[in-house]
Amino acid sequence: MVEPNSSSSSRPLSRAQTQAGWPGEALAQAVALQRSLAIGDRDWHALKTQRARRAAEQLSAALVQLLSGDDPAAAKPTMARQRAIDLVTNSLGWLKAELSDPGCPTHQR
């Protein structure tokens, strides 16, 4: 078995990885990525028009949903898989410029 930190993309899966369906460290890495890409309240006004940034935020959230709640061996879509699909669809809307910032509710009064 190859060490978990190896850069080999063809490393064999451990028994725990095979049973869970996802590599053991994948969820923690996805969560870390999502946290780093999330646009917080303080950054919203500065970053709200960056379509690629919004798309990346949504894509990383989709990955977290998939890894945290989906069984990749399930033949039928799971709730987590549907939430991931919805987030991917939303991210495509940002990338295709079909979505835009709805505006800040506190500034529309």
Query: What is the C-alpha separation between 50 and 71, in angstroms, rounded?
Result: 33
The model's confidence at residue 67, banded by pLDDT at 50, 70 and 90, is very high
Using one digit for the tens of pLDDT, what is the confidence trace for 3-62?
333 333 444 444 444 346 899 899 999 999 999 999 988 888 888 889 999 999 999 999
Domain range annotation of the chain: 15-101
Q: What is residue 105's predicted lDDT score, i.e. its pLDDT?
A: 64
Could you tell me the CA-to-CA distances from 87 to 25, 44, 56, 76, 82 in Å, in that order? Answer: 22, 19, 10, 19, 9
Query: What is the C-alpha separation between 31 and 5, in angstroms, rounded?
Result: 18
104 or 37: whose pLDDT is higher? 37
**Average pLDDT, integer, range 75-101:** 94
